[in-house]
Amino acid sequence: MSTAAIRTIGVRWLGVVLLYHGLMACAFAAAPGPVEPVADTLYFGGSVLTMDAQGRVVEAVAVRDGRILATGSRAGMERLRGPDTRVRELEGRALLPGFIDPHSHLMQAVAFADWANVTQPPVGSVDSIPSLLRVLQAHAAEKRIPPGDWIQGFGYAREGLAGGRELTRSDLDAVFPDNPVMLLHVSGHGAVFNSRAFALAGVDAATPTPEGGVIVRRPGSNEPAGLVMETGLFAFFRVLPAPSEQASLAALRTALAHYAENGYTTVQDGATDARGLALLRGAAARGELPLDVVALPVAMGQADAHRLAEQRFGVYEGRFKLGGVKLLLDGSPQGRTAWFTQPMLTGGPGGESDWHGKPMIDPAEYARAVAELYPRGIQIWTHTNGDAAIDALIAAHEALGAKASDDRRDIAIHSQFVRADQLDAYVRLGIAPSFFSNHAFYWGEVHRRNLGEARAAFLSPLAAARARGLRFSNHTDAMVTPLDPFFTLWTATNRVTRDGRVLGPEQRIDTLAALRAITIDAAWTYHEEQDKGSIEPGKRADFVIVDRNPLALPSADLRSLRVVATVKDDRVVYGAVMERR
């Protein structure tokens, strides 16, 4: 082969090699690198309290498809901005996880929509029996309630009224001789009725007091005086009027809007009857629930527990789920029907001496109901206020070999007067308390009179629970106390009574711990901590925007905080946020 021919072949091969490398270079240059996802919404311009395990506070949050995409610095989140990304400006305010309602009564808010408010300040205006009767008269006139129809009110309490005596049926008869009247006790565990109501319910001097109930009698007589509590109410509930479904749905919308106004994105109905379940399921099926709703159907014993256990628990369907079964062991400490191992100092609601309160159901029947639910994996939520009731709760779990590693998270609702040794049992058995620190303000002085300083001071012992490593929530029990979450933060961190005295100062906790009790730890009680309760990637974009950063305020000022906006799955359901693109 000639030198020229070799040179020609070499040039051709060189061209091929250069072409190949050129094409490969172009191919590598054109190969896409990692593509940053584009956010639907960015939240900038304030403090973001993530409520994660480290308690981080960051500058910004990115959201995509209703879930948190990323958190971090504003500059870092700007990388996720696209041409259609919304920017929601916090304007120096604070962004927190949407509040998780640990325990309240949504369906009470629905029922009370057309009732008179007879609560005392600062919630209502009643300060005496005459002022209570005037509120009822004004309500009856405003609603144009005709003779024969029921007049109903909520929030009644003897303590705090001028004169300090109990309202009686005679007081109500003098003003409303032609209408049955029911005034629900502020605890929800009793009511005062007039004579027309007693007649409709068939309750008179010959009616025995039912097991677990109280019927206060006139002095020197078996005639009912007016106040009926606990299981004694059942006869009256059977004759109360039921509102129409249309009226109930309208009231449900109003009630949920009120929860959203207070920053809640997950709501509980803490004692749901069959009618309430039907209403909530229907609303969920039609897509009418703007917030997540967790219902706890009530069981009064083994038979109810067995029937309820056939339903589906723990799964949302249209923003509604059954969270567990509600059992009740005792009543109300401020109503003096909670069940204690030691007697109250002031006697019972009917003047009983050596009064310990009483269980609402036989503890053996309670244990049978627990045994019905436990092996099925259904979460058990038990109403317990007094330490004797808590003993029964603990005994029922111990009998089943419960242990913390089972991770059931059965809830002791209220746990108001739990003892220190009972908190240790909670740790061992895996029981979580849902405390009620608002009692310190509303009834702290009442508890001092009823129980003495030492027992009253251990009311809702948040600090003692925290020292033991217990995860707990802290609730309002609305409509027993208002929904205001910032008032709950204030009572948890201050424990100041109506009289301005601190009740159990050693049980106060810091603001971050108090926030956890209505965010991430409350989500944990629902087994939802992987989906809610903190601002972390992958979780739902459920937020509340607050006018100031709670962590930057003195604890005494926490009750002055206000909700600016509430966001559910990245959709604003209350308030307004400055938005631009």
**Residues in CB range of 4: below 8 A, 6 or more apart:** none
- State which amino acid sits at residue 542: D
Domain 33-95+544-581, CATH class in plain words: mainly beta
- What percent of the chain has pLDDT above 70? 94
pLDDT tens column, 149-206 = 999 999 999 988 998 899 999 999 999 999 999 999 999 999 999 999 999 999 999 9
- What percent of the chain has pLDDT above 90? 92
Whether residue 90 has pLDDT greater than 80: yes
pLDDT at 581: 81
- Please give the DSSP secondary-structure letter assigned to residue 187: T
- Please give the DSSP secondary-structure letter assigned to residue 345: S
Residue written as tokens 């992958």?
538
**Percent helix / strand / coil, the chain, rounded to 5:** 35, 20, 45
pLDDT tens column, 37-54 = 899 999 999 999 999 999
pLDDT tens column, 285-333 = 999 999 999 999 999 999 999 999 999 999 999 999 999 999 999 999 9
Q: pLDDT tier at 237 (50, 70, 90 boundaries)?
A: very high
Phi/psi at 98 (5° precision): -55, 140
Please tell me the CATH code under which domain 295-310+322-534 is placed.
Answer: 3.20.20.140
pLDDT tens column, 204-219 = 999 999 999 999 999 9
Please state the rounded mean pLDDT for residues 424-433: 98
Whether residue 226 has pLDDT greater than 80: yes
Q: pLDDT tier at 580 (50, 70, 90 boundaries)?
A: confident
Residue 547 CB: number of other CB atoms within 10 A?
A: 13
Whether residue 25 has pLDDT greater than 70: no
Q: pLDDT tier at 36 (50, 70, 90 boundaries)?
A: confident
Phi/psi at 263 (5° precision): 90, 5
Element (H, E) at 382: strand 380-384
Question: Which own/partner contact pairs does 280-285 have at CB distance under 8 Å and 24+ positions apart?
Answer: 280/107, 280/252, 280/320, 281/317, 281/320, 283/249, 283/252, 283/320, 284/317, 284/318, 284/319, 284/320, 285/317, 285/318
- Please give the DSSP secondary-structure letter assigned to residue 46: S
Question: Which own/partner contact pairs does 10-15 have at CB distance under 8 Å and 24+ positions apart?
Answer: none
Q: 122: cis peptide before it, omega within 30°?
A: yes
Whether residue 24 has pLDDT greater than 60: no
Beta pairing partners, 88: 43, 579
- Residue 326, CB half-sphere, CA atoms under 13 Å: how many? 21
pLDDT at 37: 87
Q: pLDDT tier at 81 (50, 70, 90 boundaries)?
A: very high
- How far apart CA 578 and CA 9 sit, in angstroms, is 71
pLDDT tens column, 247-295 = 999 999 999 999 999 999 999 999 999 999 999 999 999 999 999 999 9
R_g of the chain, CA atoms, integer Å: 29
**Residues in CB range of 539: below 8 A, 6 or more apart:** 67, 68, 530, 531, 532, 533
pTM for the model: 0.91
**Residues in CB range of 332: below 8 A, 6 or more apart:** 185, 187, 188, 189, 190, 229, 338, 385
Whether residue 29 has pLDDT greater than 90: no
- Please give the DSSP secondary-structure letter assigned to residue 335: T
Q: Which CATH architecture has domain 106-237?
A: Roll (3.10)
pLDDT tens column, 102-115 = 999 999 999 999 99
Whether residue 3 has pLDDT greater than 80: no
Mean pLDDT of the chain: 93
pLDDT at 31: 43
**Residues in CB range of 354: below 8 A, 6 or more apart:** 343
User: Cβ-count burial of 207 within 10 angstroms (0-12 exposed, 13-18 middle, 19+ buried)?
Assistant: middle
